[in-house]
Amino acid sequence: MKKILFLALIFINMSAFAQMDSSENTPTQLVKEFFKAFHAQDTVTLKKFAHDGARLESVSIDAEGNTKLTTDNYSKFLKNIASIPAEATFEERIHEYRVEENGSLATVTTPYTLYFNGKLYHCGVNSFQLVKFNGEWKIVYLIDTRVKEGCD
């Protein structure tokens, strides 16, 4: 009887942990789902991932070698994604996910290479700033770098 009770407790605990892992909302999971929706041009889903007022910035180097910072709001990003022609192909290949999490704040950094119509377009690093609101991670700020050289 003790063995049966012991085995039952083990299975219950394993089941509880399995459910917790599969439904867990993590910063990495949010960013992975973001890129799935991005590649599908699913702006409705992309909108759900961001907090109202989320900001986007890009750092690049202009023709004269000066650092340029471009700022946009998330709604403009969504319009840009929706305006990509259906016949165009694009893929942002993520090389790794670096995560730093502290309570309700997380940073997910993702080095990437972007291909447009099968050709290298640029590469860089994305840095997602996430905040957990009511148990759900949301993007509040996204900044990336964009370079065209050294994209090995």
- Reported as a single tens digit per residue, the pLDDT across 86-114 is 899 999 999 999 999 999 999 999 999 99
pTM: 0.81
At residue 90's C-alpha, the angle toward residues 87 and 91, to 5°, is 150
- H or E stretch covering 91: strand 90-94
Locate the domains of the chain by residue range: 25-146
Task: Say which CATH architecture domain 25-146 belongs to.
Answer: Roll (3.10)
Q: How far apart are CA 138 and CA 133, in angstroms?
A: 7
Residue 1 has a pLDDT of 45
| pLDDT band at residue 121 using 50, 70 and 90 as cut-offs | very high
**Digit-coded pLDDT (tens) for 21-49:** 434 689 999 999 999 999 999 999 999 99
Q: What value does the mean pLDDT take over residues 60-73?
A: 94
| pLDDT band at residue 69 using 50, 70 and 90 as cut-offs | very high
Query: CA dist 133 to 3, 49, 118, 138, 143, Å?
Result: 43, 11, 38, 7, 20
